Structure 1
Amino acid sequence: MSNSIPEDRIPVIVGVGEIVDRPKDIAAGLEPLTLLEAALKRAEADSGAKLLGDIQSLDVVNFLSWRYRDPEKQLAQRLGIAPTHLYYGPVGGESPIRYLHEAAQRIARGECSVAAVCGAEAQSTATKAQRAGVELPWTPFAHDVEEPKRGAAFQKPMAVTLGVFRPITVYPLYESATSAAWGQTPRQALNESGELWSTYARVAADNPNSWLKKQFTGEEITTATPDNRMIAWPYTKLMVANPTVNMGGALILTSLAKARAAGVPEDKLIYPLGGASAEEPRDYLIRDQFVESHAQTAVLKAVMDLVEGDGKKFDAIELYSCFPCVPKMARRTLSLGADVQPTVTGGLTFFGAPLNTYMTHAACAMVRKLRDGGTLGLLYGQGGFVTKHHGLVLSRAAPKAALKQQTSVQAEADRNRGSVPDFTTEASGKGKVEAFTVIYRGNGEVEHGVTMLRTEDGRRTLGRIPASDTTTLAYLQDLDRTPVGSLGDIVTADDGMLEWRVA
């Protein structure tokens, strides 16, 4: 290690803790604050040192299963601490990686010597209690606290009307556009997704902290059945995140000087080497295209630069896995083959998706993986609709250079952005398919299809395909040729909504 970096300015992860709560009785389920506290205590125990009382920086990942007034302050009070940096952040699946990175930067700046990042959800218990009419003996629900802004708040009214404003209906647009751009038939794309997801399932089956410990073949994952219903083409239930879990995760960071003074064993120490972040416009309809995320590409290229520009240098990786298109795009940018091991955790379908905090658990799993062997790990988190991206490199070996403070690659992402077509809600004539999905009801019937279209004059719009138009729906869901790039007729329906029909 370079002697130029003082040990009190070298951040190091010293403790990781997780808790999974499967109560026998609904009312016995633990609330998110209790899960957070338990995860932090486990992280402290894992470090082998007494550190909780010294926390000066505490980041709490946003949770959606229960609403509190100032949960970060309530947690600090439970722990009997008064951190100078106390933060409860906005919604976003990338946020745990961002907080971890920022906590490391705080230590590198000398602003604190002990930091913690934690997140928890109790959606499984909250959902069961609501359905059974059970009142939970938790901290009273803070009804007057405003719910955080999500999907619909940032999208165009037409997208909201057509139902393409939730992750499950927006990611298929990327799925259809990317696979067409890669020259795949929908069948080939589905096979790739199935094989990738079965790898996540295998890892989850071996992870003691995962929610669903069952292995699935690629075919079992991608084939629609009554138990594995189609949700939004081409995604079945086993291809999407499962948020109905109860789990908490936490990481404790210190400076190397503090870790050594506290007696943390050397083989526990994992060093953050650096990372990068960038975002796409929140309204996905004002992005230039759907075959690539410039923000994702810029972030992954920046993290590869930390390992001599070679994605194969990572001994372990975690590619965010809310939907298959995300790791499929990421592995191509990293120049990794279809045989890539994309996870150390198990993925948001099988390990479980505690909403914004999956990557907290992924970071815990990565720390354990690197302690067991291997030198370099990549954590890549993502939030929104391929919107917010953050990558972080962890290492078993101490860094040779100080942690960088400026890590946004937004300028790079923006520079690569092409021109954005104007959006219109009124159009006629021919429309070319840019991306599409078909939305299904809970009973397995089609609700309607949605095509993202380019008009003859180059503008962008959305077209509905009613459930009664079985010809166009069959055309969209043909496994042997993609409808992306094909032309059809744009018509205005009786309710004023644009519809698209195969020519």
Structure 2
Amino acid sequence: MTTSPLPEDRIPVIVGVGEIVDRPKDIAAGLEPLALLVEALKRAEADSGAQWLAEIQSLDIVNFLSWRYQDPARQLSDRLGIKPAHAYYGPVGGESPIRYLHEAAQRIARGECSVAAVCGAEAQGTATRAERAGIALPWTPFAHDVPEPKRGAAFQKPMAVTLGVFRPVTVYPFYEAATSAHWGQTPREAMAESGRLWATYSDVAAQNPNAWLKRHFTPEEITTPTPDNRLIAWPYTKLMVANPTVNMGGAVLITSLAKARAAGIAEHRLIHIWGGASAEEPRDYLVRDQFFESHAQNAVLKAAMELGGDDGQVNGQAFDAIELYSCFPCVPKMARRTLGLGADVQPTVTGGLTFFGAPLNTYMTHAACAMVRKLRSGAGLGLLYGQGGFVTKHHALVLSRQPPRAALAQDTSVQAEADRHRGPVPEFVTEAGGKSAVESFTVIYGRNNEIEHGVVMLRTSDHARALARVPARDGQTLAHLMNMDRTPVGSSGDLVSADDGVLEWRVG
């Protein structure tokens, strides 16, 4: 798609970023998400050095999961005393902050608005503490009549729900096992890579004043199970997964280059939005062709590389700073390979969803804030990559202190490119028997660090796909699955139907 240069009033720039971290000693004094949003927006305005809040014409709010509101976009607008033409409260998705930033920039490029805000907040830490203590929080009344947003189980097959593999923490391990086998790694080597990568995230979080856990963790601390670092779903320990029990708010203010200059904002503080790309995998992960790569992720990151490439040099080194979404290690491990980056990659400017904290859908709002600060300090070109669901929704955005070489494109989808690489999808079956081979697997643990059961994703002798249980009593099969020196992916075993009608698998 060709684009043409635009006048300054159609060039979008980020002018302000704001964050707040709330750590109340008194539970009842904790700030609710709407209050965190207001404070984050005020801080973003203060960061810009000019007055913007009263002029907001486009307002996007990242979906809340820690508290439910009636029409949160209207309530926030009322608190700010504004009536934006575009006021949107979106669905669940970890990529959504990046998408909203991209879409807000496109509105400015189309001349539909001149000031836009993207913001998100969660107070899961306070909400969880209050629930456990039996304390009623003095917040805006919880909107019980507002439907809970669709998540996880709503998009998955009944058998996935029955076996407990319908939550992110139990689905991402399928990608972890499949990717490491595809890359020729032993599970021990894959675990070591995850530990080193996560230690790098923790290093950045330790230096970020807005991080929830501000200390360095060694790779061994991260990957070794302990009473305080229990196994959740093999191979992930608590320190390898997102930490949602935080209280945080973040906001980004965007305007046109002309309006920013008229407000007297220094050029080195203006961050240009060059563009980006988006694509998705099927919501039901069991109807994907394989689990050792994401075609949507590949297409999105390759499009971002092309956007940021210089003189035809299309590779990850085009970026001086990157944020690779980090809900679970397999995501940035896949991404850095697509970007052509080595194992020594600096994958974050923020600190990651384990250590910085995971305010549910809005981590990438904070990543955008951190990236703006990084670019203002001198980095040339930045990449923000977010994803949501189960390696499902992907969005990348390229930012820079320098003006873009071309006008912002309005078409962000690279879905056709993703779909072009998708292979045949095996039929999913719930009745099968005989020999079958492991496509991927996980082992689910309880809070007492005891195995609940294993789950294997299989290919049957008829080349269909099935999910099967490995009972906790089957120590031989579980030991085979969790062998650190040889991947079980591709190994064969026997598939039978248990008394409750659920398929079970044992090595043989």
User: Normalising by the residue count of structure 2, what TM-score does the alignment of the two structures yield?
Assistant: 0.98
Q: Which residue of 1 aligns with 2:76?
A: 75
The answer to whether residue 365 in structure 2 is matched with residue 364 in structure 1 is no
Deviations 1:446-497 (A, max 9, x none): 0000000000010000010000000000110000000000000001111111
The answer to whether residue 317 in structure 2 is matched with residue 312 in structure 1 is yes
Q: Distance in 2 between matches of 1:46 and 1:192?
A: 37
Task: Please list every run of at least 4 consecutive aligned residues from structure 1 whose deviation after the TM superposition is greater than 4 angstroms.
Answer: none
Matched residue type, 1:395: S
Q: Which residue of 1 aligns with 2:301?
A: 300
Q: How does 1:279-290 map to 2 (within 5 A)?
A: 279-290=280-291
The answer to whether residue 358 in structure 2 is matched with residue 353 in structure 1 is yes
Q: How does 1:152-301 map to 2 (within 5 A)?
A: 152-301=153-302
Task: Decide which of 448, 456, 463 is 2:461's aligned counterpart.
Answer: 456
Structure 2 gap segments, 5+ residues each:
none
Query: Do 2:4 and 2:407's aligned partners in 1 also have CA atoms closer than 8 Å?
Result: no
Q: Which residue of 2 aligns with 1:140?
A: 141
Q: Distance in 1 between matches of 2:4 and 2:343?
A: 41
Note closer, same or farther for the CA distance 1:3–1:241 as it changes in structure 2 (3 Å cut): closer
Q: How does 1:107-146 map to 2 (within 5 A)?
A: 107-146=108-147
Task: Decide which of 326, 329, 332 is 1:327's aligned counterpart.
Answer: 332
Matched residue type, 1:241: A
Matched residue type, 2:69: Y
Q: Which residue of 1 aligns with 2:489?
A: 484
SS of aligned partner of 1:481:
coil
The answer to whether residue 479 in structure 2 is matched with residue 474 in structure 1 is yes
SS of aligned partner of 1:490:
strand
Q: Which residue of 1 aligns with 2:503?
A: 498
SS of aligned partner of 2:443:
strand
1:407 shift after superposition = 1.1
1:4 shift after superposition = 4.2
Q: Distance in 2 between matches of 1:499 and 1:400?
A: 57
Identity rate, percent:
79
1:306 shift after superposition = 0.8
Q: Which residue of 2 aligns with 1:409?
A: 414
Q: Distance in 1 between matches of 2:4 and 2:85?
A: 29
Q: How does 1:9-48 map to 2 (within 5 A)?
A: 9-48=10-49
Q: Distance in 2 between matches of 1:278 and 1:73?
A: 30
Count the aligned residue pairs. Answer: 502
Matched residue type, 2:267: E
1:214 shift after superposition = 1.4
Q: Distance in 2 between matches of 1:125 and 1:217?
A: 28
1:34 shift after superposition = 0.2
Matched residue type, 2:399: L
Q: Distance in 1 between matches of 2:448 and 2:111?
A: 56
Q: Which residue of 2 aligns with 1:444?
A: 449
Deviations 1:68-97 (A, max 9, x none): 000111000100000001000000000000
Q: Distance in 2 between matches of 1:450 and 1:430?
A: 16
Deviations 1:210-230 (A, max 9, x none): 000111111110000111000
Deviations 1:304-356 (A, max 9, x none): 00122221010000000000000000000000000000000000000000000
Q: Distance in 2 between matches of 1:17 and 1:265?
A: 18
User: Normalising by the residue count of structure 1, what TM-score does the alignment of the two structures yield?
Assistant: 0.99
SS of aligned partner of 2:179:
helix
Query: Do 2:322 and 2:346's aligned partners in 1 also have CA atoms closer than 8 Å?
Result: yes
SS of aligned partner of 1:306:
helix
Matched residue type, 2:34: L
Q: Which residue of 2 aligns with 1:380?
A: 385
SS of aligned partner of 1:120:
strand
Q: Which residue of 2 aligns with 1:87?
A: 88
1:203 shift after superposition = 0.2
Aligned alpha-carbon RMSD (Å)? 0.9
1:400 shift after superposition = 2.1
Q: Distance in 2 between matches of 1:97 and 1:170?
A: 23
Q: Distance in 1 between matches of 2:106 and 2:27?
A: 41
Q: Distance in 1 between matches of 2:7 and 2:461?
A: 62
1:3 shift after superposition = 10
SS of aligned partner of 1:170:
helix
SS of aligned partner of 2:308:
coil
Deviations 1:252-311 (A, max 9, x none): 000000101112221210001010000000000000000110000000000000122221
Q: Distance in 2 between matches of 1:477 and 1:423?
A: 25
Task: Decide which of 420, 427, 441 is 2:425's aligned counterpart.
Answer: 420
Structure 1 gap segments, 5+ residues each:
none
Matched residue type, 1:146: P
SS of aligned partner of 2:468:
strand
Matched residue type, 1:153: A
